Structure 1
Amino acid sequence: MKTKVKELRTAAGMTQQQLAERVHVSARTIISIEKEQYSPSLMLAYRMAEVFGVTVEELCCLRENRDLEDRKYGDLP
């Protein structure tokens, strides 16, 4: 799943380790999210959104991801 985690983290001047510590996960988890290899749980997405002062919808690009999925399954032209 595409997210804005890397974009928001770098704009905030945070390292992956610093973000990981703030949201109680490993740096490896943050790396995997940023590489789109892992989708964060709802609680983890909520914690990260709070850190960056954005909504979960914005952090996780929910509208964009939904549209991509809909196209994949033929729900949208």
Structure 2
Amino acid sequence: MSRSEEVPVYNRIAQARAARGLSRQGLAEAVGVHYQTIGYLERGEYSPSLSLALRIARVLGQDVQALFSVEPFATPDQETP
């Protein structure tokens, strides 16, 4: 991989946000970004800075590694009991 290639960052922001009853606007206000930024992040169109990832994790009450990964998250049908 060349230095210019960016590794995709997968996330579970939408699921964690919904579980807390937060809208994109509400999460955006809590972390200090525009609501469209939250949409870009949730769709994987934008990778957050470390600072933003940590702020999002704090507001959502999650560890950052529970929300963000460089490996795709398992889907419910792939998880083992």
Partner of 2:6: none
4+ residue stretches of structure 1 with deviation over 3 A? Answer: none
Gapped regions of structure 2 (runs ≥ 5): 1-8, 73-81
Higher RCO (CA-CA < 8 Å; seq separation 6+)? 2
Q: Are the counterparts in 2 of residues 4 and 61 from structure 1 also a CA contact under 8 Å?
A: no
Determine the structure 2 residue equivalent to 1:7: 15
How well do the aligned residues superpose, as a CA RMSD in angstroms? 1.1
Q: Which aligned pairs between 1:1-77 and structure 2 lie closer than 5 A?
A: 1-62=9-70, 64=71
TM-score, L = length of structure 1: 0.77
Q: Which structure shows the higher strand fraction?
A: 2
More helix by share: 1
The percent identity for this pair of structures is: 41
Per the normalisation by structure 2, the TM-score is 0.73
Structure 1 gap segments, 5+ residues each: 66-77
